[in-house]
Structure 1
Amino acid sequence: MNVFQSIAAALTPVGLLWTLLIIGVATFLHELAHYALARWQGVAVKSFSVGMGPVLVQRPWRGTEWRLSLLPIGGYVEIDGMAPEEDGQGGYRQATRGFAALPAWGKIAVLLAGPLMNLVLALGLMTATFASQGVPALDRARIESVQPDSRAEALGLRAGDVIVALNGEAIPETRTVDGQTRPGWEGLRDFLATSGPKTLTVRRDGETREVAFDWQAQVSGERQLLGIGYGPDVDDASVPVAFTTAVTTTTEAVPQILRAFGGLFARFLTLDLSRDENVSGPIGTAEIVSQAANVGFWALVQIATLLNLSLAFFNLIPIPGLDGGRILLVLVGSLRGRPLTFSQEQAINLAGFALVMLLMVFVVVRDVSRFF
């Protein structure tokens, strides 16, 4: 099987369609927020495109040319006064109207609107998930599946059983591992990483029972598996509780997202092509969405939530070419009391754009290298 066959085998038509839909909606709303904040301040928007590259369909409406472009890898809005303008002598100069004429807070509002829209969308999707599926109960582990002919099946464990205590000790809501706070239910893995007598306190149909067994964590140097798939138990939640949980979950996820991006840049600088489970490229994303499509609708909603969170924080990284980099340039100009010169801003934006493009190429190459 060659590389292309391997990639095709990892993806599904339904997964690809869902990937395009999820990315398309996230991109459209991101750019729509930029558009809305610009128009709200009286700044014209020349064009609005979903997709990049050659234009497939275009239609003028309310002073803006709305486009659908060939490559489904992003989108853009062409805001008046954001790009340089011709100086009448065959060259270019810094624009003085539209976006360029806005005060610093107005420029930041336009630039910040896109990432904030993705953040709001992620919070909305997360709230809907928690309200429908329940909020995680960190002090309980629910068995989601039991492998046939496994040790777990021999012990009488079933899907739907809820583990509430390990060796008679209640599972805490959180625990600290290597300086990081982790959910208590994840401690089941460490519990099974050591040999000896074990007791699981299991709740089933409102009744509690003890499951005692002797456990060998390794046999002939190989780690033994109990044979269960598990995750946190859930509690029913109202919409306000679901929203509060979504905000808390997002806040707790920020350090993990930043560490993931930090790891990506470190791998980029060292040209490390080894697989990183925390950051996926376009092929990896489509592969994950293909798997989620086989699980069900709410699995796809969770993927859309993570994608919007990633887009929000990635765009806020202060690299010229991204929204965060443009915001940084606005702040620098405000602190200096005058904007950067045309040549300075062009050089900085060019360097930032080149860095972002190289980073994208690196992610794609690393994505494809998994199949060799």
Structure 2
Amino acid sequence: MNLQELVGALSGAGLLWAALIIGAVMILHEFAHYWAARAQGVQVTAFSIGWGPVLLRRTWRGTDWRVSLLPIGAYVQIDGMAPDPGEDEPPQRGYTLLPAWGKIAILLAGPLANLLLALLLLTAVNTGQGLTDVRTDRAVVGQVIAGSAAERAGVRTGDVIVRLDGQPLPNSYRVDNEDRPGYLKVRDTLSSDGRHTLTVRRGAAERTIAFQWVAFRDGARQTFGIRYGPQQTTRAVTLPQAFTEAGRTVISAVPAVLDAFARLFRSFFTLDLATDGGVVGPVGTVQVVGEAARLGPWVLVGIAAAINLSVGFFNLLPIPGLDGGRILLILVGVLRGRPLSARQEGGITLAGFAFVMLLTVFVVLRDLTRFF
């Protein structure tokens, strides 16, 4: 891919939808911090959509609401969280005077808001699209290879295979001629020469297809010539069922997300730009969102849920500079009987922020490596 193709891939609907989704995710995250602070009587001096020079501002309820030049997320300034200009220690007011649990509540509010929104978006997807049931004892033929034994036997695309030689299909599926989980490799089952049968459901009726099979011909192992995957059916669900299934999805995502972050860190520390760690940066996000927008609104909603999950879980990581890192420093202060000084916390947070920035640059470089 050349530079012109890269620019084309990252422009248009994908860029617009990515900007809207990421902007909404970050605004929600910061607004949750704002709400948690105000709920405890702590003043929020500023709430900005975007970073950099301020374009528009209005003061309301003691907060300077801003729209800034660079449309990259949002931020809040909570009274007492950081030292005043020219001071080394935070002022003894607002956030500083809160107990540890109150500070943690403010920090947790942002990631939890993203996880809650992901839960609601997944509930909407489940309600709108229904739930998909997968039967691993049946398989739908997605393709019949021209000139293959399957074509000569009369197998058709769309046939649902229910039995092989009168026996239920194995529950371990792999696709014919490929090695990826989720499909059945027919040639592994058809190891013996002679007459075999497939029982298929075509429309409302079942029929048995008989064929002669030779496992090896001219010294080469033969393939039956079909590609197929597990039978999937969609069923409508009630709102409580959709919500429950969304909750299961969020919970089951935890180990997968943590594993993806672990692989990302491993690639970062080894400077491995080639290995796909399952985490994409801004460039990859625009590409994924653009593809989702072409596939339909529910796919786009699902991607928005995934982005919220990623942002929520990432901010909970115990890295200084992130919400999880700040929570870790508060807990360290509780264990040692006194909080860290502003100088100590500032130095640790600055180091963590630098690490996150380097990690972001690494992810962008890896995204570009995928393109080129």
User: TM-score under structure 2 normalisation?
Assistant: 0.83
Aligned-residue offset at 1:84: 1.5
Secondary structure of the 1:279 match is: coil
Q: Distance in 2 between matches of 1:124 and 1:162?
A: 34
Letter in 2 for 1:370: R
| Residue 181 (structure 1) aligns with | none
Q: Distance in 2 between matches of 1:58 and 1:224?
A: 68
Q: Distance in 1 between matches of 2:139 and 2:61?
A: 53
| Residue 194 (structure 1) aligns with | 188
Q: Distance in 2 between matches of 1:216 and 1:315?
A: 54
**1:1-372 equivalences in 2 (<5 Å):** 2=2, 4-86=3-85, 90-140=86-136, 146=143, 154=151, 156-158=155-157, 168-169=167-168, 188-192=182-186, 194=188, 196=190, 202-203=200-201, 205-209=203-207, 226-227=226-227, 232-276=232-276, 278-372=278-372
Aligned-residue offset at 1:286: 0.6
Stretch deviating more after TM superposition (138-147 or 328-337): 138-147
Aligned-residue offset at 1:227: 4.8
Stretch deviating more after TM superposition (330-339 or 53-62): 53-62
Q: Distance in 1 between matches of 2:9 and 2:32?
A: 34
User: What is the aligned-residue RMSD (CA, Å)?
Assistant: 3.4
5+ residue gaps in structure 2?
175-179
Letter in 2 for 1:121: L
Secondary structure of the 2:111 match is: helix
Aligned-residue offset at 1:53: 2.6
Q: 1:156 to 1:147 in 2, by over 3 A?
A: closer
Stretch deviating more after TM superposition (327-336 or 66-75): 66-75
Q: 1:300 to 1:59 in 2, by over 3 A?
A: same
Q: 1:329 to 1:204 in 2, by over 3 A?
A: farther
| Residue 177 (structure 2) aligns with | none
8 Å CA contact retained: 1:55, 1:70: yes
Q: Distance in 2 between matches of 1:215 and 1:288?
A: 44
Q: Deviations over 1:151-201 (max 9, x none)?
A: 699455445x656667732665xx799xxxxxxxx8542534736268766
Number of residue equivalences:
357
Q: Distance in 1 between matches of 2:44 and 2:222?
A: 62
Q: 1:40 to 1:338 in 2, by over 3 A?
A: same
Secondary structure of the 2:183 match is: helix
Q: Distance in 2 between matches of 1:199 and 1:151?
A: 16
Letter in 2 for 1:298: W
Identity %: 50
Q: Distance in 2 between matches of 1:60 and 1:308?
A: 29
Letter in 1 for 2:311: L
Q: Distance in 1 between matches of 2:48 and 2:149?
A: 53
Letter in 2 for 1:120: L
User: TM-score under structure 1 normalisation?
Assistant: 0.83
Q: 1:257 to 1:188 in 2, by over 3 A?
A: closer
Q: Distance in 2 between matches of 1:55 and 1:224?
A: 66
Q: Distance in 2 between matches of 1:113 and 1:144?
A: 47
5+ residue gaps in structure 1?
178-185
Instruction: Please tell me whether Structure 1 or Structure 2 has the larger radius of gyration of its CA atoms.
Output: 2
Aligned-residue offset at 1:251: 1.2
Q: Distance in 1 between matches of 2:39 and 2:87?
A: 31
8 Å CA contact retained: 2:280, 2:367: yes
Aligned-residue offset at 1:341: 1.3
